[in-house]
Amino acid sequence: MALYEHVFIARQDISTSQVEAITADFSKIIEENDGKVAKNEYWGLKNLAYKIKKNRKGHYVLLNLDAPHAAVSEMERQARLHEDVIRFMTIRVDEFEEGQSVVLRSKADKDRRPPRGDKREERY
């Protein structure tokens, strides 16, 4: 089976539990078609670069899939029909990234940074 990374963006006005339900539905579709979800990451509510279907923000979710092409295409078909999913993208990869994705790692790095001081003090 092939390895895929699937990222989808859900509407901003739905709750986190509804996003988890959408993720569970997509995972169920993959598992019914002889695939498996290797990793599931919720990236949170983030600003979009531009408005998409009148939304300025969206819930981002990453799924790492080990599934046949038929399962992935069925999941994409369901994503197109789902009214809460505003965008999605699936990419075939050679291997999965170990540990957390880059998005979650950069989020953790921001939390660990020391606070910035007054810039005038640094100059003199």
Q: Residue type for 1, please?
A: M
Closest listed residue to residue 29, CA positions, set 96, 99, 104, 90: 90
Query: Where do we find the tokens 């880059």?
Result: 102
Three-class HEC string of 24-87: HHHHHHHHHCCCEEEEEEEEEEEEEEEEECCEEEEEEEEEEEEECHHHHHHHHHHHHHCCCEEE
C-beta atoms surrounding 67 within 10 Å: 25
Q: Report, in angstroms and rounded to the nearest whole number, the Rg of the chain calculated over CA atoms.
A: 18
List the chain pLDDT tens, one digit each, 124 residues.
789 999 999 999 999 999 999 999 999 999 999 999 999 999 989 999 999 989 999 999 999 999 999 999 999 999 999 999 999 999 999 988 787 777 777 766 666 666 666 566 555 5
Q: Compute CA distances 99 → 4, 42, 65, 103, 108, whole Å.
A: 16, 14, 15, 11, 13
pLDDT score recorded for residue 107: 67
* 47, two tokens: 């600003």
Confidence (pLDDT) at 1? 78
Q: What pLDDT does 100 receive?
A: 74
User: Which residue ranges make up each domain of the chain?
Assistant: 2-111
- In CATH, what number does 2-111 get? 3.30.70.60
